[in-house]
Structure 1
């Protein structure tokens, strides 16, 4: 298929799987594949019997896959063919002879064969991987692509997130997502090509820096040329010699941003989510082009100071919602249209931020957050155990996700750990406390431009923001607990509402405080498995209770913001503002008023 976004990546339609590095041609391998279970995990690639058909990229547990099998599934196999027509659609030709296979996410470990030849192995159920399959292609006829995915259901040292280790979902855990759950696609690239981009804006110096990683042989006389524009106006352009290396950094000064009286016009914020178009060209000294890609960047800064969360150096009250991003038909997977609609819904409800919970979301979701102006707390699924495997799994996968997502302006906070999952004894185990500190510092080393929450909810070791989880349902108690600075700081120095220590070791007393989980009200129905932290008997009582809780928290002056639990009902966890089908439990305009204060 052909993308119309090469000239302007800010104008893409949201279907491209890698929205910040866009080429004009690609081929989507989604659709019907052959499928097989391998419960004993002993099948060989040349002996597996494919006896089912599955709709990729939906996990086999989901109805949309056409399988809908929610039993324990430790190992699954996929197979499909592609030929010359698909390669042409992906841009194959003399100028783009290398064929690259991309897999957005395969849970949890994957092996990939092309025509019976092993071409890739990958571990990490949320992170993408790619492989050049040119040398494995058949000289004529179709090519057979085979993928094996292993995800042992009761392995608690892998990053499970909200995926239940029991066969039936219980409490706050849901059906598992096994195997392929994000796009699989082909693109054809030149012999020397752009592989990845990392954007770093700096507002005080009016500069944008981009790190460019290259693939293939890079000629000594190769140059990188980068241009930024907005509304058809060129803002900056720069060119650096690569020296034959497979990476290079280009630093651009945007002269317009040196004028302090107008520089805010181009800044990214929820109120005005401005994106700058970018092009990155790899060229020879003569000017002949080897590769060109489209991208975009948002100019904004995120920091904390004086108890405030700062966007573009100004205090901004965080109005967040906890989003599981789980759908009844597709589970953790989603269509491009669904991802866009989720961002739109969150904004329509009056929130300016989403905390995507225990999941690293599809980059197409982040594109719409960038484009429409929704701030994101970027989180990852956590393991449940603390051992060497869990440490290695989290460090590897989290590092890949930070690298993948750090150029998105919508991402404003990193959250590597939640509620001491996987570090359950952090308050008295020095190794677990060291790990929490180290994963936070590793995050800062990879990206020093955003705040890091070391362990969301309690037992903070090295947090730039102090967060609290509190499911008290009495608004008067909430108003008293969070209405004054002194009792709040006393709580942070001791034990929180869940009975856990709030901090481990010294913490900055001036760090902003955010109530990052509260609410959780379930609207009672006839469902026997309905679950919430508190409940309301009918829609009128639900609206009254939710509105009162939000009002009490919103009026707290010591808090820098809040994150309401949660956006939608998810399985048996029926404490959403919306039902699982995304219909509201009371009118959207009244939810928005409760969130923003218009109901006061």
Structure 2
């Protein structure tokens, strides 16, 4: 196999689709695929009439796809041919004997064939999946990959987030995303390979806990997993453990450098100094020969809350967040690698230290740049709009996969499985919906106990670690009075919030830190009757006055542990962004930055 020793996962160009489990050889299948619609869902794999081409991974609703059909699209088909050239690029060789076909995300139910042989089915529009196509592929010949994606436009039991169920976007909802919308790629691996890893730092014990999951045939009992972590080219921790014939292994690495209290903070990850430590994970035979090796990275940091503060590395840190829809006019929910990097850069340039990616589990390439450039992220999922067995099952299954995929990113500091009672619309009085909200929050804590969890962002919290409030009051004086006084804020948190919703359904709300996690939403009028916002400014000067005063009122409210402004960019008819949809600032960046930082 190709040796990945020396590959630094912290210095990638941002195009690699799985940035925390990296091999040097892979084949990107982005680009032109054959395409067909199947509106009545009657086509079969052998008789599809592919009459057009599409640019993957952009959804057919988007201009970048070359299709740009925004109406209802219940079923689509894709086809692409791959041959020995692609397989060699993916790492095919004597020791790399298994061929894997990876999908970043396909909305919503995908079926995959290779050479008309079924190789995978997957349900869940935001979570990745992999097909082992070894037995279906001809390594010396021409191979045909076919993908069918079903996404019923009116189905409100699936996790659809901001995708409109009406044919034309209205209010705060946007055009739908159907089919492939994240990278598709080939990779060749050994028969037994490293399938997944997670890395969690334990600051009080100066250690990193590494979980390794192996794929393929169970390794010999005398095989080893070796993990090493480095900084500036020097190994700072290394350990190995026998597999003992199991397909999982746990390694605890102690970092001697971190035992020196005077140097303790030098290696920590923070927004101002986002230190990432390269890591390598190897599967070895008893005599030390490598079976497989991957590169990764870890950020040393801890996240917690106290009664009145958000704690990063045990230090109070004000969360200065912006709501990011991460939706682009040309590509919709999909994005190019360059666009994902630029989005992180823009958020930081505006003075924010956090992004709340709204109603979307974002592409891991975005999280890579958040890790590397120092942007904290509140990780959220799309919501369903119905409360039924299928909606609950979908959220549990898809959210579990999202947490598993993203848990090693140091940039992620909060998990948000539910928002504004979407999908649990009667939670205030329905015990079943309350139980589900508590259970999804507790499931998240069970999957990853290292981060705070918001059980229902905005109001009607059933089991949150932070009390979050959504408030679109447009008068900065009212906001300053509402959130600048401890006693007034305490009374509100124990009762009803600005939207007329009870803020907490559980005891102990007064012991939680409070953040206003949606506010602002000022629209700059453009003359288009479809323009929408929570309040409106008639010209750029009025927009600047309104936005800066509202942001400053919240940013300087001492009782708050943080805030999240709505929103980063205009999105469709929702024209309440700080930036236009083109990512052009509506007012000078330095004025926005000063307000975010609470300066005059």
* TM score, norm. by length of structure 1: 0.99
Rounded to whole Å, the distance in 2 between the matches of 1:444 and 1:479 is 34
Correspondence for 1:73: 73
CA distance in 2, matches of 1:374, 1:27: 29
List per-residue Cα deviations over 1:493-538 (Å, max 9, x = no partner).
Answer: 1111001111112134221100000000000012110000001000
1:435-446 matches, cutoff 5 A: 435-446=436-447
Query: In the aligned structure 2, how far is the partner of 1:141 from the partner of 1:400?
Result: 34
2:6, 2:236 → 1: CA distance? Answer: 18
Task: Identify the residue that residue 535 of structure 1 maps to in structure 2.
Answer: 536
Structure 1 position 306, deviation (Å): 2.4
Alignment of 1:174-189 (within 5 A): 174-189=174-189
What is the DSSP-based 3-state SS (H/G/I as helix, E as strand, rest coil) of the residue aligned with 1:503?
coil
Residues 357-397 of structure 1 deviation map (CA, whole Å, 9 limit, x = unaligned): 00000000000000000000000000000000000000000
User: Which residue of structure 2 lines up, in the alignment, with residue 158 of structure 1?
Assistant: 158
Name the CA distance, whole Å, in 2 between partners of 1:82 and 1:5: 28
In structure 2, the CA distance between the partners of 1:39 and 1:289, relative to structure 1 (3 Å rule), is same
- Alignment partner of 1:392: what SS? helix
Once the two structures are superposed, the pairs formed by residues 487-526 of structure 1 within 5 Å of their partners are 487-526=488-527
**Distance in 1 between residues matched to 2:51 and 2:7, nearest whole Å:** 44
After TM superposition, the structure 1 = structure 2 runs for residues 15-164 of structure 1, keeping only pairs within 5 Å, are 15-138=15-138, 140-164=140-164
Distance in 1 (alpha carbons) for counterparts of 2:501 and 2:508:
16
Matched-pair contact (CA < 8 Å) for 1:463–1:507? no
1:3 deviates by 12
| Structure 1 counterpart SS, 2:296 | strand
Q: 1:5 and 1:151, CA in 2 relative to 1: closer, same or farther beyond 3 A?
A: farther
**CA shift for structure 1 position 4:** 8.8
Contact 1:6 1:22 survives alignment (8 Å): no
- Size of the aligned set, in residue pairs, is 598
Q: Does 1:354 align with 2:355?
A: yes
Instruction: Decide whether aligned partners of structure 1 residues 472 and 126 sit closer, same or farther in structure 2, where only a CA change above 3 A counts.
Output: same
Q: TM-score, normalised by structure 2?
A: 0.99
Quote the residue 1:419 is aligned against: 420
Q: C-alpha displacement at 1:163, in angstroms?
A: 0.1
**2:135 partner SS:** helix
Q: List aligned pairs for 1:300-319, cutoff 5 A.
A: 300-319=301-320
Q: Which runs of 5+ in 2 are unaligned?
A: none
Does the C-alpha gap of structure 1 residues 5 and 19 become closer, same or farther in structure 2, counting only changes over 3 Å? Answer: farther
* Matched position secondary structure for 1:516: strand
CA contact (8 A) 1:5 1:12 kept: no
- Give the distance between the partners of 1:361 and 1:490, measured in 2 at CA: 36
Ranges of 4+ aligned residues in structure 1 off by more than 3 Å: 2-6
RMSD: 1.1
Residues in 2 aligned to 1:138 and 1:354: alpha-carbon distance in whole angstroms = 45
Aligned residue for 2:430?
429
Query: Which residue is 2:270 aligned to?
Result: 269
Matches within 5 A, 1:335-484: 335-484=336-485
Q: Is residue 5–residue 24 contact of structure 1 (8 Å, CA) maintained in 2?
A: no
The CA distance in 2 between the partners of 1:562 and 1:392, in whole Å, is 31
Q: Distance in 2 between matches of 1:402 and 1:154?
A: 27
Q: 1:3 to 1:482 in 2, by over 3 A?
A: farther
Q: Deviations over 1:5-38 (max 9, x none)?
A: 9521101111000000000100000000000010
CA distance in 1, matches of 2:506, 2:328: 39
Structure 1's unaligned 5+ residue stretches are: none
Counterparts in 2 of 1:6 and 1:176: CA distance versus 1, 3 Å: farther
Matched-pair contact (CA < 8 Å) for 2:157–2:390: yes
SS in 2 for 1:548: helix
Contact 1:461 1:507 in 2 (8 A): no
Residue of structure 1 equivalent to 2:202: 202
Q: Does the CA-based 8 Å contact 2:4-2:294 persist in structure 1?
A: no
Superposition map of 1:324-335 within 5 A:
324-335=325-336
1:291 aligns with 2:276: no
Superposed, which structure 2 residues align to 1:3-18 within 5 Å?
A: 7-18=7-18
Moved more, 218-227 or 131-140: 131-140
| Cα distance in 1, alignment partners of residues 499 and 598 from structure 2 | 28
Kept in 1, the 8 Å contact 2:428–2:502? The answer is yes
| Preserved contact between residue 5 and residue 11 of structure 1 (Cα < 8 Å) | no
Deviations 1:425-448 (A, max 9, x none): 001100000000000000000000
More moved, 247-256 vs 585-594: 585-594
- Indicate if the aligned counterparts of 2:4 and 2:293 stay in contact, CA closer than 8 A: no
Deviation at 1:542, TM superposition (A): 0.2
Task: Provide the residue aligned with 2:190 in structure 1.
Answer: 190
